[in-house]
Chains A and B, each alone.
Chain A
Amino acid sequence: MSNIKYILGSFGDPDEMMHGIEKLQENNIKIHDVYTPMPIHGIEAKLGVKRSRLDIAAFCFGITGTMTMLSFVYYAAAWDWPVNIGGKPHFALPDFIPITFELTILFCAFGLVGSYYASTHLFPGRAPRVMDLRATDDRFIIAIDAKENAEHSKIDGLLKDAGALEVKYNERKYISYE
């Protein structure tokens, strides 16, 4: 028993998995993480995942884009090389709104997606830290740290009562991809 690192409850139905999370939490068993093939609405509140701050990041990146383009176009069109076009103003703001808007969106999108990848550790070539290969297919996996929670048979029972199709005892944290 001592080599077991993680206990995985493998569910075939998201509602049963949610039920399993409730059961475990009622018994004060800490859940390491949950792996699902699709987003499960309402799960973040149960597991105490904090509200995302990506919207704030997106706004900041967007504003940066706005300021960058406005200041750049001011520099280029009114400062560095002002061109006299029939005496019209060098800094013709209405003309610069389309490009300022585009840069706002560009900075916002790249900043947002970059922050998302950074905060969830996604990058090309990262070794996938997969606990169960079917978690991206048809199984909803609750992972429990076996060292922290010693009562393995109780966990097994709770998971099966909640409707787990299978309970796995993994001796390695992640399935190797090598």
Chain B
Amino acid sequence: MSGHNESILREPLITGNNITYAKITDDILTPVENKPNKAWWIGFIVSALGALLWVVAVSYTFWNGIGAWGLNKTVGWAWDITGFVWWVGIGHAGTLISAVLLLFRQNWRNSINRSAEAMTIFAVICAATYVVSHMGRPWLAYWVLPLPNQFGSLWVNFNSPLVWDMFAISTYFSVSLLFWYTGLLPDIATIRDRAVGVKRKVYTVLSFGWTGNVKTWQRFEAVSLILAGISTPLVLSVHTIVSMDFATSVIPGWHTTIFPPYFVAGAIFSGFAMVLTLLLVARKVLGLENYITMFHIESMNKIIILTGSIVGVAYLTEFFIAWYSGSEYEQYAFINRSTGPYWWAYWMMMTCNVISPQLLWFKKIRTSIPATWILSIVVNIGMWFERFVIIVTSLHRDYLPSSWAMFYPTWVDVSVFVGSIGLFFTLFLLFLRVLPSIAIAEVKLLLKSASEQAKLELIKDGHLEKEQVKEYVESLEKFDSVKQEEYAKI
């Protein structure tokens, strides 16, 4: 940081003038230290009603059993596992941002990692509720654990991907929680040292006694790096194992070796879309435009094009391999997906995941906030349909034509899903109110090197190459938070 200037060719990560360390703290803590505004209340009430619907639907399921859902003897897995995979996938972007981008030293992660990690945790909670509620007898949920028991001392089947999944999801959840909370400690201490009364007492307990001395900070960075190093293979393993729930079976359409990389790419794809859905609104409502800039939005959009294209290639490869395998069941499964009774779901998935994200190749679109926001929602819809297509279309026409069936969700299926979205947003909105939505300490690190004002100083010093300055000023044109007049005279 000190004595080293970042290249002028890099776009700024903090925009605005007169940004000081104190202003960063003030700006980020505004929602935590003040009463919520109307927008927050409206969002919270709507989400809380959604969460209530979830409570009702899940309780109804517990009371009546899985028969409350639209499952039948042919389609024994439908919206539950679709919702589960969808939520787990969404969670992956948080770990990707906090771990993988840290390993690659991508400084733009600093202002989005906190909320993305929070999103990971809430998404995994939503996913885990599906696991429990689909069990039928949730009070026996502990049977998935390898516990010695009195039923003949049988252990769980360690050869089963569902058991691997239990290990993967619970490890993922607890490691993400640790990573997130450890990163939060310095920021909780910041709130604590500014608060009074009961609030100070609460944040004192939560801050674990953080003071920010040299050794703690130095170890903190070591811990973050090691956690990032172990979380990276962890996040890849989690969705790999989720995909093995399908890939190790012998159902045509599921039994493919492409599933692990394809699921991981899809998870990152949908996760980044959800990060954008949340942050584009949060940045506006909370006034964080100077910290979550157009550069961040554009970078995330670039990741969406990349992963969306990987997913597209995977769809085509799957289709090609089905034909090339010469297996008539495999071929039928794919022809049925695209032209059978669920053709609309298949083409919905293709349009939302493969075709529409290609619009992001246009700079105008990927730097437009409304367009990005709409596309991020389209991607989320598409990724839900992807899981639905994989699961339901592969099951609904099995080897025995007399048992072919369609799946029709009941109100309980729909309510559990819609309710889980409500639960997710309720948790996220509460998070915005009680914890800083941006990693304050990490953003402060960028102030002296990667901020717009630091770069403006460099330009004013006049030791830079003219073409480089020109390119930099041109790159600022897309920023909605930069005052363009200031650069008119340069």
Chain A positions near chain B (C-beta within 8 angstroms): 12, 14-15, 18, 33-44, 47, 49, 52, 54-55, 58, 62, 72-73, 76-77, 80-81, 83, 85, 92, 95-96, 98-99, 101-103, 105-106, 108-110, 112-113, 116-117, 119-131, 133-138, 177
Contact = CB atoms under 8 A, between A and B. Distances in A.
Given A14-B2, A52-B219, A113-B178, A105 B163 contact: no
Contacts of A116: 182, 219-220, 223
Given A81-B153, A128-B209, A98 B168 contact: yes
A73 B167 contact: no
B164 A109 contact: no
A66 B163 CA distance: 17
Contact of B164 (A98, A121, A123): A98
Contacts of A136: 186, 189-190, 192-193, 210-212
Interface stretch (B227-235, B378-386, B403-411): B227-235
B193 A137 contact: yes
Contacts of B444: 37-38
B208 A80 contact: no
Contact of A37 (B158, B186, B220, B241): B186
Interface string B1-31: 1110000000000000000111001000000
Given A81-B153, A137-B22, A109 B175 contact: yes
Given A54-B222, A134-B193, A96 B158 contact: yes
Contacts of B92: none
Q: Return the 6 tightest CB-CB contacts between A and B, nearest first.
A: A126-B209, A138-B21, A138-B22, A122-B208, A76-B155, A39-B217
B445 to A, nearest CB: 5
Contacts of B157: 83
Contacts of A34: 213-214
A40 B237 CA distance: 34
A118 to B, nearest CB: 11
B219 A119 contact: yes
A104 to B, nearest CB: 8
Nearest to A130: B211
A41 B356 CA distance: 43
Contacts of A49: 214-215, 218
Given A14-B448, A37-B441, A39-B445, A102 B237 contact: yes
15 contacts: A14-B1, A35-B212, A37-B21, A39-B220, A40-B217, A49-B218, A54-B223, A85-B159, A105-B171, A108-B230, A125-B205, A128-B209, A136-B212, A138-B22, A177-B204
A112 to B, nearest CB: 6
B2 A44 contact: no
A105 B234 contact: yes
B212 A58 contact: no
Contact of A137 (B159, B179, B194, B219): B194
A15 B210 contact: no
A112 B223 contact: yes
B437 interface: no
Contacts of A133: 193-194
A110 B178 contact: yes
A119 to B, nearest CB: 7
Contact of B212 (A12, A36, A54, A77): A36
A117 B167 contact: no
With a 10 A CB-CB cut-off, give which of A15, A36, A92, A136 has the most chain B CB atoms: A136
A119 B220 CA distance: 11
A96 B167 CA distance: 11
A57 B74 CA distance: 51
B2 A128 contact: no
Interface string B170-207: 01001100110010011001101110000010001111
Nearest to A140: B21
A160 B444 CA distance: 24
Given A44-B214, A76-B146, A105-B230, A95 B158 contact: yes
Contacts of A85: 159
B442 interface: yes
A109 B176 CA distance: 10
B154 interface: yes
Given A37-B444, A109-B178, A121-B209, A15 B193 contact: no
Given A42-B2, A52-B222, A99-B167, A124 B205 contact: yes
B45 interface: no
Given A39-B445, A92-B159, A130 B193 contact: yes
